Amino acid sequence: MRIFLFLLLFLHISFAETYITKNSYSELLYSNPRGVGCNKCHGEFGEGRVIAKYKHKEQNIELVAPRINNISKEKFVKALKNSKSVMPNYPLTPEEIDSLYHFLNSQK
Ligand code: HEC
């Protein structure tokens, strides 16, 4: 009996790492990518969102975080490697970028 319990405990520990599925990992990373969550600007599923509205020289201007769940992998990777204006830069590994892309494209 004791051996059996020990074995159960051992199995539990050795499989603990695989408890988080690829889907939940990529979802977590999307809202917590070691920086401001992508969801804060691009929306919960990458659908895009207006992040600010302001007036400049009497004109109403909207600052938009574009939709990112319908773009090619190349465009996605490129945008993350050199973000242009408002978007922060992230120190993401290629695997993390893969996961984010996976999350955004598995939501349809
Ligand atoms: C502070 C708001 C903000 C955050 C946070 C943010 N982005 Fe962005 N993102 C933008 C804006 C604004 C653009 C439009 C280009 C620019 O201004 O940099 C953009 C552009 C992009 C593009 C290029 C889209 C295209 O069609 O060219 C991708 C891909 C992207 N973001 C992915 C992400 C991912 C993934 C994260 C999280 C790791 C993230 N962004 C976090 C605001 C944000």
Q: Which of 65, 30, 61 is nearest to 48 (CA)?
A: 65
Residues of the chain above pLDDT 90, percent: 70
Which pTM value belongs to this model? 0.85
Report the alpha-carbon distance of residue 30 to residue 98 in Å, rounded. 11
Residue 51 counted as domain residue: yes
Residue 54 counted as domain residue: yes
Q: What is the pLDDT of residues 46-68, one digit of tens each?
A: 999 999 999 999 999 999 999 99
Report the alpha-carbon distance of residue 48 to residue 9 in Å, rounded. 45
Report the alpha-carbon distance of residue 81 to residue 52 in Å, rounded. 24
Residue 82 tokens, joined: 């050199």
Residue 8 counted as domain residue: no
C-alpha of residue 42 to centroid of ligand 1, in Å: 7
Residue 38 counted as domain residue: yes
- Please enumerate in sequence order all residues whose Cβ is within 8 A of that of 107, keeping only pairs 6 or more positions apart, or say none: 45, 46, 69
Does the pLDDT of residue 14 top 70, yes or no? Answer: no
55: containing domain: 20-105
C-alpha of residue 104 to centroid of ligand 1, in Å: 13
Within 6 Å (CB) of ligand 1, which residues are found? Answer: 33, 36, 38, 40-42, 51, 65-66, 68, 71, 75-76, 79-80, 83-88, 90, 100
User: How many structural domains is the chain composed of?
Assistant: 1
The ligand 1 atom nearest the CA atom of 63: 12
Amino acid at 102: H
Q: What is the pLDDT of residues 19-43, one digit of tens each?
A: 788 899 999 999 999 999 999 999 9
